[in-house]
Structure 1
Amino acid sequence: MERFFKLKQNGTTVRTEIMAGLTTFMAMAYILSVNPSTLTAFGQVEGLGWYSVFLATALAAGIFTIAMGLFINFPVALAPGMGLNAYFASVVLSSATTDHPFTWEMGLTAVFISGLIFILLTITRVRQILLDAIPDGLKHAITVGIGLFITIIGLKNSGLMTIGVEAGNDIAAGKFTDILSFESVIHLGSLEDKNVQLAIIGLLLIGVLMVLRVKGAILFGILGTTVAGILMGVVDFDTLSNPATPWTPDFSQLNFASFDWDGIMHTGLVSAIATFTFVELFDTFGTLVGTATRAGIMDDPEEGKRRVGKAMLVDAAAVTGGALLGTSTTTAYVESAAGVAEGGRTGLTAVTTGICFLLALFLAPVAALIPGSATAAALIIVGVLMAQSIKHIDFDDMVIAIPAFMTLAIMPFTYNIANGISFGIVFYVILATIANLRGSEKTYKVHWMMWLLAVLIVLRYILIGSQG
């Protein structure tokens, strides 16, 4: 393993890498239950079974995460992405009552085609050009934005932050004029809730372990929080006998290659392909660059670009492979930062995480024991670590500061990585161009790819809208 993964060269050890891989798995394990529920819209998507999606989720995450580790030596894990799975379900449900419904088979077809597009873009090195095109200030903003995005996920999953959907709709409709009304949209959760209390315990436990410089602080914090949850009566042991999570996987229920090529001319298919492609393009870029930066891989720019470029190819293959298995877009996961924060630097971290996902096929009831508050606390702490990159952003230079701030602010508050990157790119192109035309003392590089992306972004929001 030392020779294969180049552990000494990357300043790490077998123990550190395995601990990091376990930490990443702990932070991502929620997807095993969340993705099936989301993709089937809690049973509302007719014909798409919860367990079939569970199998596809575990297999896709396991197979392609291991591939990322073995072939690229990259400490990044993959799994079906949050956000795109919700879009998948919403498109299917929204057309269910129409004369020409958009079936879940069509949805998988759209994901598969978007994956083929990604493979083409990666082989032709179009995606890799992004590494040269995006200015360093925006790259660091992406890292910080992902950290805030992870924090929002943790706060929301733990119950420390609650969102009033109805109030939010009222504000969107212009019904609120009093700024104090906003506290009914996003506010602190109930501190009387045991899950919220457990999340706070988890935050303190992980925080104390990190202050004491305990190796594996996040993983031990998750396990310690789980023990606390057992003592508090929060952990549900009924999962051990729940028929929805059997001990032995039944692969006959897997929706393998369930595509609907007869529906290729459906009017909604082109829109779905465009949305999957556009969002995945920026989500993956942000995740890979942000995680690579945190892992120190980008310290050597040329080597970092080479490895990220190869990682993009595995990611592209994962999109098509995940669709074949029967799940929505499989992508690099921002929660990989949890393992990187624990010292993960090589593909051994990813291989460890991937093996855990495959084992989850047989031990799903055990994995389900870990309370969401425990992993949520870990994600919040990871957000702290990712936010450290903000010190590399020059906020005295408004050409950099404004696009960077738009990136790191819009990403978490719209709950969408692609939105943040999109606004950052458009704002940078406009401001940098104006500064250059004005004849400022500093000349700002605006890569042709940035111009192309800015135009495509504007067209995307005009033609597809902000909800795509």
Structure 2
Amino acid sequence: MDRLFKLREHGTTVRTEIIAGLTTFMTMAYILFVNTLFLGEGGAGIPNQAVFFATAVGAGLVTLAMGFFVNIPIALAPGMGLNAYFMTVVLSSGGDITWQTALGAVFLSGIIFIILTVTKVRQLLLSAVPNNLRVAITVGIGLFITIIGFKLSNILMVSVNPDDKLDVSKGAVLNTNQFNIILGDFIHNKDSLLTIIALFLIAILMAMKVRGALLIGIVAATLIGIPMGVTNVKGLSDASWLPSFDNLAVGKLDIAGAFGVGIVEIILVFTFVELFDTFGTLVGTASRAGLLKDKAKGEKLIGKAMLVDAAGVSAGALLGTSTITSYVESTSGVAEGGRTGLTSVTTGVLFLLALFIAPLALVVPSAATAPALIIVGVLMMASIKEIEWGNFVEAFPAFLTIVLMPFTYSIANGISFGIVSYTVLAALYNTTASKRVPLHWLMWVLSILIIARYIWLGAA
């Protein structure tokens, strides 16, 4: 194990890495059933069994590849947001775009990623983006996953009009037309109450420096949730524990159909959103793990990770799921001490085992995983002190990057505004100041592409 994953070199142990991998899996396991909601028979129309298979196997195999070939503690699975966009594409087309055609579009976006990675265009991002912006990405992702945690638990609810009627006890929002975030009824909502209990339990364990605090908190919350009626264990007694391989979507993508009228825009949206989401997640997680301290090694590491990520997009489409991408929840494993690919291998194996223990994997409620995401947000905020707040050229783009990720619920939006604002501000500053700030030529290219994207594709 030490020779394969270089454990001693990274200051870690087998036990630490396995605990980290378990923690990452526990915070990501929700995708096994959430993905079915978006892509399954009630969403995009893919058979539910086929979606579950593609999600578990796709996440498992690509995460194993990340662990063995890159040796980095990052797990991958079908991305939230992109799976919702996938469903929207199919349902809004009026039957013109089938789920097979949409899978073809995802496959082609993966090929584009592979080309960009092999030609090292994606790797240039690491040299082009200034350090303050990279730090801001880490902090922004921390706030982003914190929002995810609060939303999963119904502690925070979104309304679009302050006068709207809200059934906070059920997490329902009615008549929404103006953006507004409110505090849910966490006293009477069982999900929220369980999240708060687990949140303080994990916080106490973290303060006491207990190893595996996040994992202990998730397991404890799941057990506490049984008498509260939040954790549903009724289906365990009569569930089928053996996976069925009938009626799968493997190889049923329609690549030829993806070249049809109107699909080019969809391919570009998949490509653009994944480009910045992946970059942000990889840099943020790798920075948190301390793997980017050596610039040369860091660039090589991220380059290999990007190649696995790119190949995973097309592999997922072949299996029958929307874009497989690096997960911000990987930071929960890093917070538990995960530093090598053994963390990813552990997570990948658990995803594959989920085929056989599907009922058990789905028992963990979102209210039990939400506290872990909130705590990780706390840890990732620590990097904010590295930003040069006294230098407005650096501070303003960093600020936009940080706040727009949670406020727009998009990692890509935060990075996009950060890049454009830095490029414009740095260019103007360099024309008047005697001391110039660094401005890589690729930042101009990215800014032009970003502006073009928002002009022609909107904020999808």
1:25 is matched with which residue?
25
Give the RMSD, CA atoms, in angstroms.
1.8
**Contact 1:134–1:450 (Cα < 8 Å) also in 2:** yes
2:416 is matched with which residue?
422
Partners of 1:216 and 1:451 lie apart in 2 by 44
How much has 1:234 moved relative to structure 2?
1.8
2:301 is matched with which residue?
307
1:447 is matched with which residue?
440
Partners of 1:334 and 1:4 lie apart in 2 by 25
* Matched position secondary structure for 2:77: strand
How much has 1:228 moved relative to structure 2?
1.4
Residue identity over aligned pairs, in percent, reads: 57
Q: Residue 63 in 1 paired to residue 61 in 2? A: yes
Partners of 1:361 and 1:189 lie apart in 2 by 35
Q: What does the per-residue CA deviation read over 1:242-269, in whole Å, with 9 as the maximum and x for residues that have no partner?
A: 76xx421112222011122442442221
Matches within 5 A, 1:311-330: 311-330=305-324
1:462 is matched with which residue?
455
Partners of 1:241 and 1:466 lie apart in 2 by 46
Q: What does the per-residue CA deviation read over 1:159-206, in whole Å, with 9 as the maximum and x for residues that have no partner?
A: 11011257699xxxxxxxxxxx99983111112111110000011000
**Contact 1:102–1:268 (Cα < 8 Å) also in 2:** no
**Contact 2:104–2:317 (Cα < 8 Å) also in 1:** yes
User: How many residues are treated as equivalent by the alignment?
Assistant: 449
**Contact 2:159–2:178 (Cα < 8 Å) also in 1:** no
1:72 is matched with which residue?
70
* Matched position secondary structure for 1:26: helix
Partners of 1:27 and 1:261 lie apart in 2 by 33
How much has 1:344 moved relative to structure 2?
0.1
**Contact 2:400–2:417 (Cα < 8 Å) also in 1:** yes
Q: What does the per-residue CA deviation read over 1:113-152, in whole Å, with 9 as the maximum and x for residues that have no partner?
A: 0101111111111100000000000000000010011001
TM-score of the superposed pair, with normalisation by structure 1: 0.93
Partners of 1:283 and 1:251 lie apart in 2 by 32
Unaligned runs of 5+ in 1: 170-180
Partners of 1:205 and 1:402 lie apart in 2 by 36
**Contact 1:168–1:185 (Cα < 8 Å) also in 2:** no
Matches within 5 A, 1:317-466: 317-438=311-432, 440-466=433-459
How much has 1:103 moved relative to structure 2?
1.1
Partners of 1:75 and 1:452 lie apart in 2 by 31
Matches within 5 A, 1:15-414: 15-40=15-40, 43-46=42-45, 48-96=46-94, 101-164=96-159, 185-191=180-186, 192-240=188-236, 246-414=240-408
Partners of 2:243 and 2:58 lie apart in 1 by 14
- Relative to structure 1, the CA distance from residue 80 to residue 44 in structure 2 (aligned partners, 3 Å threshold; closer, same or farther) is closer
Partners of 2:72 and 2:374 lie apart in 1 by 23
TM-score of the superposed pair, with normalisation by structure 2: 0.94
* Matched position secondary structure for 1:162: strand
Partners of 2:98 and 2:89 lie apart in 1 by 9
Partners of 2:261 and 2:117 lie apart in 1 by 27
**Contact 2:107–2:255 (Cα < 8 Å) also in 1:** no
* Matched position secondary structure for 1:443: coil
**Contact 1:239–1:368 (Cα < 8 Å) also in 2:** no
2:168 is matched with which residue?
none
* Matched position secondary structure for 1:187: strand
- 1 or 2, which has the higher helix percentage? 1
1:13 is matched with which residue?
13
How much has 1:233 moved relative to structure 2?
2.6
Partners of 1:273 and 1:261 lie apart in 2 by 11
How much has 1:102 moved relative to structure 2?
1.2
**Contact 1:7–1:13 (Cα < 8 Å) also in 2:** yes
1:176 is matched with which residue?
none
How much has 1:306 moved relative to structure 2?
0.9
* Matched position secondary structure for 2:438: coil
Partners of 2:102 and 2:91 lie apart in 1 by 11
* Matched position secondary structure for 2:357: helix
**Contact 1:24–1:339 (Cα < 8 Å) also in 2:** yes
Partners of 2:326 and 2:235 lie apart in 1 by 28
2:169 is matched with which residue?
none
